[in-house]
Structure 1
Amino acid sequence: MENQTHNPQQKTSFFQSNTAKMIMVGLLCLFLLIPLELVKGLISERSQRKKEMTQEVNTLWGSNIKFYGPILNVPYYDYESYNVEDANTHNVTIQTKKVIKHAYFFPEILNNYSNIKKSQPLKRGLYENVVFTSTMNFDGNFEKPNFDKLNINPESVIWEKATVIVNTTNLKSIKSDLKISLNDQFFSFESKSNNQSNYGVLESNQFDYNTLQSQDKINFKFQMKFNGSESVQFIPIGKTTNVKIDSDWKSPSLMGTFAANEENKKIDSTGFHAEWKLLEINRPFSQQYEEQLPNLNEYLFGVRLLETVDQYQQNERASKYGFLVIGLTFLVFFLIQSISKINIHIFQYTMIGLALVMFYTLLISITEHSTFSIAYLIAAIAVIVMIVLYSISILKNKKFPMFIGISLTALYSFIFVIIQLEDYALLVGSIGLFAILGAVMYFSKKIDWNN
């Protein structure tokens, strides 16, 4: 009887199995999150540095503009009671003294037309700050004040000392002579101290309301020119408030409590036009106040003039896809390794992972000296070329490295498109990831996972 000998199949070590390799590659992906988070911290640090420099430039040029006025200020006499104690008898008597108080009245009609022009960017170090100049034209009228609503005796009103006041931020950046026309008579504005709010106060010369009024109304007209940055906002204090803004800014953000009229709004490549019409019934505050003005900042509206996505926001969004890039790249190498039976050492995976992380440091550093698009292109080409050349030395052929280069090019292009999109980023990203998953399932179906 012929002896038959059977050679037992050589058992593969666990550490050489696909399972062990997948575990090690997965752990390496998690480990690379550490340098990736350090890169994100670098981006945040550079972004904060830009904000500090922007704030410094804004302080010198002019900050955001908030406008609260014009307001008719009419003083009146009042009497205040106070207690007086006799030092000897300790008897307390009540005495009165005559004091001057102020009543404030908002306009019946307030019209504003503002033209905002983008100025040359101001550069401080590596950073450019976008600023603008604004020309604001105001007109409207005041009705004769109704002191009965404030329970003030009309006989105590000091009509001959009436003034008009304007509250506005950014006083130091006003670039025009300030004069107001009241029924065709001109009065100069003077700056006054104000400890009750963040607004600066401009107050006109005194005038006699009874002498100046015409048909119980005072018509006003004035112009103000500002250097500013970030935003222009108004408080709708007119019984009827009309605001129109024209600008060469291509990407405005209309903001505040009240929406612009949709039928008159226009935004295109040449700039934008926006209009607001607000009535007394649209806002819950009165037309007259005594002693002090209320804080009405919650009713501000206007336009914010900032770049929609700056370079650091784009870098931050790109870095959020870092783990996806590393994971998919490792997956491609793992599939190639499993199909071709070429062994790739975990150290080589580490070098490839670090090259992928270096993409983001290159991106942020080049972006600060160029545009984001150019920086993205240069950084992507540099990393793809490095990984392809390294893959040739690992895989000992050019077929698989070329496939890796094409895959990385498609992946970086896909991520760039997502970064540029805003409204459709989630939709495009989901479709892209679904297609990538389908491709991985297709190429992995022939792999023998039992080894």
Structure 2
Amino acid sequence: MENTEKQNTPNQPNKFGTWLKTSITARMIVVGILIMVLLIPLTFVNILIEERAFRQQDVVREINSKWGNDVTIYGPVLKLPYKTYTETSTFNEKTKAYIKETKTHIKYAYIFPETLETDVDVKSKSLYLGNFESAVFTSKMKMNGRFNAIDLSTKDINGDDIMWNKATMLFRTTNLKGIKTEMLIDLDGDSYPFETNFYDNNSKSHLDELETNFINEELLRSEFEYSMNVTYDGSEQIKLIPVGKTTTMTMESNWSDPGFIGNYSPNDETRSITKDGFKADWKVLSINRPFSQIYLNKLPNLNQFGFGTKFVVLVDEYQKSERSAKYGFLVIGLTFLLFFLIQTLSKIHIHPFQYLMIGLALVMFYTLLVSMSEHSNFLKAYLIAGTSVVVLITLYSKSILKNIKFPLFIGLSLTALYAFIYVIIQLENYALLVGSVGLFVILAIVMFVSRKIDWNNG
């Protein structure tokens, strides 16, 4: 009899399911949870972008190591040995007297030139390995200037203690493997070859040192001129350290996207940048730099005072993809909000699984964007990925919402949102301003549309 009663008892309604369907609060909770869940795959997308960006850096380093690395020029510098003396007293037990002994020590003075004029002609191009690009160049440098007659009396060094016949010229630089010409320096008509010189290179310098044989000591008694030419195969950047009391540099290249780097900017009046290349001039006076013309005992590391040009590859697809992915939470949140408002106003039921499918489609936009941008430019990849996702969600919405009006509205809204984000990631100085104004407008629209919703109903 009990079994008969149980069989005749009508099924009790699923109160929780009914609450989910009818309660606005319940739908808001479910949508919020789904957004949090979708942050997990969105995080993996960001990790994927970082991994691909690191891969790009590795490939660029590989390209550069084969062609030639960045170029930094430090010199020429005159290296002049001199004698110093120390006197010691030793007590002699036999004579019961102190014996004075004078020891001679060899030290070095490093003297910078009075003028340094550098003319740099750079032929640049892009090299590719797979989908990755690096900017490389061949630079022809002409350097000339003069040294004043050597006078170390200001450093309390007697002229008789200077070893004039042991003077040499130094030249420090990066990228020895990229040098394509014999390294010579002309001093008043006499040529002196440079040879690689081992020295205690600290980790902050990264410069290799070249040194000549002993130069004609008669040169040092009066003012003399110097000149040298060097051709490099290099990549990324060229920098010059302003060792001249007056340092000038002129650089001309066919690269249309230069980035001027270092402590000193080129002359605005003579600088020109066109689609065919650029030309820039620098002038640095001794008063502009915090170091002197003569150093004793050790040549300082002056890398931080270098200036020059970085040959920029502007199309950094991974950086743009990363900036785009940062707005992933905003895109998912606003899209779900749009569906939530349509569901609430039209009384159409949308299952949490359908929200999840829409969210995954939005996440797939970023994987499509990254993969396509590796084989095409960013704009084309963005258009293809965006169009694919918008069409997919619009068609899927039609099956959910059972009419054409709401899906078209969703498609247009997503198109506007992706266009808005594309504009933001292209901006640098105004990205925050445009983003803030755009979000304010979106908030105003949401407030206007939701004003008729009875939030007290559930």
TM-score (norm 2): 0.89
2:446 paired residue among 436, 440, 443: 440
Q: Which residue of 1 aligns with 2:164?
A: 159
- Give the distance between the partners of 1:329 and 1:168, measured in 2 at CA: 56
Amino acid in the other structure paired with 2:223: K
2:294 paired residue among 288, 292, 297: 288
Q: Which runs of 5+ in 1 are unaligned?
A: 1-11
Q: Which residue of 1 aligns with 2:390?
A: 384
CA RMSD of aligned residues (A): 2.5
Amino acid in the other structure paired with 2:214: Q
Amino acid in the other structure paired with 2:35: C
2:63 paired residue among 45, 48, 57: 57
Amino acid in the other structure paired with 1:315: S
Query: Which aligned pairs between 1:220-369 and structure 2 lie closer than 5 A?
Result: 220-308=226-314, 310-369=316-375
8 Å Cα contact 1:64/1:228 also seen in 2: yes
Q: CA deviation at 1:310?
A: 0.8
1:352-401 Cα deviation digits (max 9, x unpaired): 00110011111111111222112111111111121112111111122211
Residues 193 and 68 (structure 1), Cα distance of their counterparts in 2 relative to 1, 3 Å cut: same
Amino acid in the other structure paired with 2:299: L
Query: Which aligned pairs between 1:397-412 and structure 2 lie closer than 5 A?
Result: 397-412=403-418
Residues 155 and 213 (structure 1), Cα distance of their counterparts in 2 relative to 1, 3 Å cut: closer
Query: Which aligned pairs between 1:59-98 and structure 2 lie closer than 5 A?
Result: 59-79=65-85, 95-98=101-104
Residues 95 and 447 (structure 1), Cα distance of their counterparts in 2 relative to 1, 3 Å cut: same
8 Å Cα contact 2:150/2:220 also seen in 1: no
Residues 218-227 or 303-312, more deviating: 303-312
1:429 paired residue among 426, 435, 439: 435
- Give the distance between the partners of 2:274 and 2:33, measured in 1 at CA: 50
8 Å Cα contact 1:395/1:401 also seen in 2: yes
Q: Which residue of 1 aligns with 2:141?
A: 136
8 Å Cα contact 1:64/1:231 also seen in 2: yes
> Is 2:193 the counterpart of 1:185?
no
Amino acid in the other structure paired with 1:337: Q
8 Å Cα contact 1:183/1:213 also seen in 2: no
Instruction: Give the secondary structure class of the aligned counterpart of 1:444.
Output: helix
Amino acid in the other structure paired with 1:252: P
- Give the distance between the partners of 2:171 and 2:290, measured in 1 at CA: 21
TM-score (norm 1): 0.90
Q: CA deviation at 1:266?
A: 2.4
Residues 77 and 226 (structure 1), Cα distance of their counterparts in 2 relative to 1, 3 Å cut: same
Q: Which residue of 1 aligns with 2:43?
A: 37
Amino acid in the other structure paired with 1:30: M
Instruction: Give the secondary structure class of the aligned counterpart of 1:101.
Output: strand
1:393 paired residue among 399, 402, 405: 399
Q: CA deviation at 1:450?
A: 3.7
Q: CA deviation at 1:95?
A: 4.3
> Is 2:205 the counterpart of 1:200?
no
Residues 314 and 85 (structure 1), Cα distance of their counterparts in 2 relative to 1, 3 Å cut: farther
Instruction: Give the secondary structure class of the aligned counterpart of 1:119.
Output: strand
1:287-333 Cα deviation digits (max 9, x unpaired): 11222211222212222222245111011000001011101111111
Q: CA deviation at 1:81?
A: 5.8
Residues 276-285 or 134-143, more deviating: 276-285
Q: Which runs of 5+ in 2 are unaligned?
A: 1-16
2:23 paired residue among 11, 17, 36: 17
- Give the distance between the partners of 1:353 and 1:390, measured in 2 at CA: 12
Identity %: 49
- Give the distance between the partners of 1:325 and 1:181, measured in 2 at CA: 65
> Is 2:115 the counterpart of 1:109?
yes
Instruction: Give the secondary structure class of the aligned counterpart of 1:264.
Output: coil
- Give the distance between the partners of 1:443 and 1:316, measured in 2 at CA: 32
8 Å Cα contact 1:43/1:364 also seen in 2: yes
Instruction: Give the secondary structure class of the aligned counterpart of 2:42.
Output: helix
- Give the distance between the partners of 1:229 and 1:241, measured in 2 at CA: 23
